Structure 1
Amino acid sequence: MRVQFHNELWTLMLLASIAVVNVVFNQHLCPPCKCFDSNGSFIANCSHKSLDRVPSSLPNYTKELLFSGNNVTKLSNDSFVTIPLLTRLDLSNNNVSLIETAAFANMSNLRYLSLQGNNLAYNNLSSSMFQNLQNLTVLYLNNNIDTDDATVEYPSDAIQRLSSLTTLYVDGLKDKIFASGFSKLNNLINLTIESSNKKCDMYNITLHTFKYLPYLEHVKIIQCNLHFIAQGSFRHQHHLKTLDLSHNNALTFKGVTHATHGIASSLEGLFIDEIVHPYAICVIITKEFCKNLNRTSLTELHANMNRVTVFQAGALRFLPKSLKKVYLKGNRFEYDAYVRDISSLVGLEVVDLGGYANKKLPFQSLADFNQTSTCTDCTVLGNISGGDMFKSLSQLQTLDLSANYINNYSSILFSNMSSLRELIISRNRIYALRFDISHMKNLRLLQCSGNELPGLTEDFTTSLDKLSDHHKMTVDLSQNPIQCTCINLPFLSWMVTAKAKGRISFGNLSEYDCYYDEVHSVILDDLEKIVADLNVSCQSFPYHFIFFVGMSLVVLVTLLCSLLYRFRWKLKYLYYAARHGYHTTHPSNHTFVFDAFVSFAEEDRDFVVNELLVKLEDESDMRLNFHQRDFTPGRPIAHNIIEAVKTSKRTLVILSREFLKSHWCVHELQMAHMESVSTGRDVLLIVMMEHIPTNKIPVEILYHIQSDSYLEYPLEGEKLMFWRNLIGCLRD
């Protein structure tokens, strides 16, 4: 009895296991394919099996057949006779070049058909091929045309009987129109013209290209080598809701302006990413472009990676009040008069002005872009100290200004932005957060990673505490040179307290570096211990002892002050060089990374970017160290400076009155001077940008000027000799 009981138990367990496997995995045997049930639909997955025909082993109740990536060259009349219930058929990326007339004759249930990525010629598609597919709603025919045959036309006769078709994907044909047969497709609302491997080559769109497609609501023409669009080309599409012309970089904003001329008022989304040459300079969005959108229902605009510099003054005022989301990432905006017009866009909820994600600024060679430019002041958005450009955007919820090389801004830049939920200012050159956030009652995310922040002020942390009393917040300060010093102890202690309360998240603390000095740092993953250790080391001495020591040292300090001041730059140089492990070497034994380190004031950036870098890097094949491009983010600036001087053959000083007002510019100059004195190599080369009285010039610079280590920049007349001399000096 016991043996019989055990056998029955094992049998039950085996049957239960089979049942569990069947329920969990729903697998069925249909080799060489994998078959399974999904929500009542039987699916056969035969993709990438090197098959040249559909297997006869598939059950006749199969609803979906995935057959992509095989070796089928011909679809015969009997290819699908055993699976008449198909609703979805994917034959993409085979080698189909021939489809017999009755191949789809028994597939009246089919709703989705993909023939993309084959070798089909549109002219060979029979007019009766799809006549029984009365329920077909989605058809992919793109990635088939790979020929220059001028006789190829869009397959009007073959498609016109698909009365239920809503979505069509086709290849773009040069100088061809969608013929009158397409007018019978009164359910066709989605048209995508797109091909991989640059097969799409429409080149232009005329007034007749889409004349017989009046019901379209969503049009995508992506990466089709578009050069020209006739004005009013989409005037027949009275219900158009979205238009995507992205990745046609010869189209330009002029082409899009033609496309939107007379466009339907129903337009809600315009997508025009990368519609200019990747080396275009000084791209301006005009009033005409914005006027064409004025009477639309536009809510979303994408114009990323178009190297836009400015909007024409007054242009923004023509954009519709319905506009809520604007994505302008990867452009090159400069602060100009157009910012005053931003106040007219009162409906904005999301603004993404994120700049370049890569470390190096995208300085182009003018020789790479043969186009006349009327703009003479093209820079990356950096100094926006002029005021309150966003003050009227009280409905804005997301603002992304990341990677714009911002180093200066107005304290009232974000005033009145009470609806803001996300503020992203990562990967800039911001040294302090000095704007008011107390009015941002809805702020959930403050993204400040990758800047130059040593910490936050007490006023700022107090505001964060008040906001976090109402909701949780994320404050990301990673990849900043946080200071692990006694002076910064209140900020670090605040981080511990805020973290313990659980109202403010600082993200992954293992991505935070905390610097004890110029070189030594620690990861903040054990924040509490680091703060506890700092509390111990920063304990004050008794007052009377401090007073006694202070009085005893007064005389000594007085005597030493004059000596320290006199040799301050020498001492700083020796300190930084020793700290960072740089040793004095003879010039002949030194290998330099850069031909020159360019030291200049922010006010002289235009000259450096638009003239100096072009002449020396692009045209003379030199390698320059440009601090906003080549300094290592998150590293103390003094470290970056001494490294730049040491690894560059020369230090090229762009001398102006503004240069002499800048603390860090003078610091760079003095470090270069000390390098010259200590190593004996000829380091400094000065370009005099303007006349400066000698009493305003430091003694060290006068020494180099008197020893002829300088060039005068010609404000007028011939500059050829200047550039020739400068290049010669740097190559000596």
Structure 2
Amino acid sequence: MRYLENFTALNVFRKAPTVDMFQFNPHLKSLTITETDLSDLDPKVFLPIPNLQSLELSDSNISSLDFLVQANLSALRYLKLTDNEVLMINETIFKSLPSLTYLDLDKNPFTCDCSNAAFIQWVKNNKQTQVVNAHRYQCSSPVDKQGSLLLDFDIDLCRDDGSFLCFISSTCLVVLTLFTSFIHNFLRWHLSYTFHLFLAFLYDSRKRKKGVPHQFDAFVSYNVHDEDWVYREMLPVLEGEQGWRLCLHHRDFQPGKPIIENITDAIYGSRKTICVISRSYLQSEWCSREIQMASFRLFDEQKDVLILLFLEEIPSRHLSPYYHMRKLVKKRTYLSWPQAVQHPEVFWQNVQRALKTGDALTENTDLPTGAAGC
């Protein structure tokens, strides 16, 4: 039957035909198989008959039309699949049937939910394929939709498929990621500094309420390049001769403790802070944080807790980041080492006087200052 064009089998097969059923019928144009269990139909059975134009597989326990995608039925025009078990149809199936002009899916238990929304829209909008009696297709599920018409299902309810929420969520995630990256790269030290500053403030407030004395007389804030001067000139006089208890980075900071915590503990654990300022000091990130924290304590507590000691002459423009602090301390303790080279004993006496002054901050306290131009 090499030239067979029409084949009809009504309640003949007990199960789906084998893949080689039509291998010798390349001219087959019409195929009808009904009242047969085709639930396991292999799409390869259609590959030998690419010229098929009419296909009917009614009352055959078919629950899915996915087999049509691989059936290679590009010439198929007529398709009848009535009285089957089709619940949901993917409209992309019909892209594999470019010549289809007639479709009959009557008496299938369609489900009326968003899984069929695209198929419903295709039925209403496509201009090539006539879907026979589509206006009569009824729903079998869900329960509240049983008996209602498939085409009456409101597909607008499916358009809010969470894409907008997904867009908002992804946008927020991107913004949060960028913001977190910005914070990590540019502001993480400022946040850490602010956090520890707040902890130090609470610690100092509790300590003042309990009347606990400070651990040190002064915390010495200096740059590592000026360490030799601190150990050679400052320590022998202030600790050796005058007997002050000084807190130094390399000697008194607690090992293993975060450096920002050591700084806050040192500043708030000392009566005063001595800033040994040089050009290297101003260029140091950690020194900058120390003087900022000390100046914050000065303004916050309104106490005479800050002593500026300049190791070299520095133009005022280099001190512009500390303008508000300079405006206040110019009237108070301000010492210049270059001007005291000829009389160092006077310089250290002035440091001693600054360390002896009380905590009260007043505008008229007469303490030694450095050059008025600084």
TM-score by length of 1: 0.23
Ranked by relative contact order (alpha carbons within 8 Å, sequence separation 6 or more), the top structure is 2
Q: Per residue, is there more helix in 1 or in 2?
A: 2
TM-score by length of 2: 0.43
